[in-house]
Amino acid sequence: MAARQHHYRVTVRWTGNRGEGTSSYKAYGRDGELQAEGREPIALSADPAFRGDNSRWNPEQLLLASVSACHKLWYLHLCADAGIVVEEYQDEAEGTMVEGVKGHFTGIILKPRIRLQNDQDRDRAAQLHHAAHDACFIANSVNFPVGCQPEFVASGR
C-alpha cells in the first residue's frame, strides 16, 4: 500500500519595506506575515540577533514549536490508545542554533511537564515518549537530534 501524501500551503508576505526596499542591509525591516487559508495571520520577523522584532515570531521559534507540537500530538494519541489519561501537558522546549556560513540547529530538547490522571501509569507513559518521537513527522524530517526529558507531576488524587 502506497503511503498517503498530504500537501500544505502557506503564504509568507514581507511587510518590512520602509520605502527604500532592500537598497542596503539596514534599510529594510525583517517583518512579515504568515498566512494560511481560514486562519488568523501570524506576525513574523527575524531573531533580534539578526535585526528582527522581538515581539514577533521568528523562523527558529516556529521550527522549535513545530517539533514540540508534533511530539505532543503523537504522545497524546499514543496515551489515548494505551488507556493512559493525560490531564495536562506543557512543553518548555529549547533549541540551539549555531551561526556561520551554513548556520544550523544542533539539537532540540523537549521538556514536557505532564500530569496523568493515574500516577501508576508513569512508567508506561514515559516509554510512550520514545514511540511518539519515532512517529513524529517533523522530528523525522530534521537533520539534528531531538531529545525528550519528560517530567511527571503528581495528579493530586
Q: Which three cell numbers stand for residue 100?
A: 556561520
49: left (phi over 0), alpha (psi -120 to 50) or beta: alpha
Confidence of residue 156 (pLDDT cuts 50, 70, 90): low
Distance CA 10, CA 150 (A): 32
At 4, is the secondary structure helix, strand, or coil?
A: coil
Strand partners for 11: 35
Could you tell me the domains of the chain? 11-50 (no CATH), 59-153 (3.30.300.20)
Give the predicted TM-score (pTM) of the model: 0.93
Per-residue model confidence (pLDDT) at position 54: 97
Mean pLDDT over residues 44-55, rounded?
Answer: 96
**Distance (Å, rounded) from C-alpha 131 to C-alpha 57?**
29
How does pLDDT run across 83-122, given as a tens digit for each residue? 999 999 999 999 999 998 899 999 999 999 999 999 999 9
- Residue closest to 148 by CA, chosen among 94, 86, 97, 78: 94
Nearest CA to 16 out of 3, 1, 26, 31 is that of 31
Reference 117, options 154, 148, 91; nearest CA is 154
- Quick one: cell of 117? 490522571
Residue 154: per-residue pLDDT: 79
Partner residues linked to 110 by β-bridges: 148
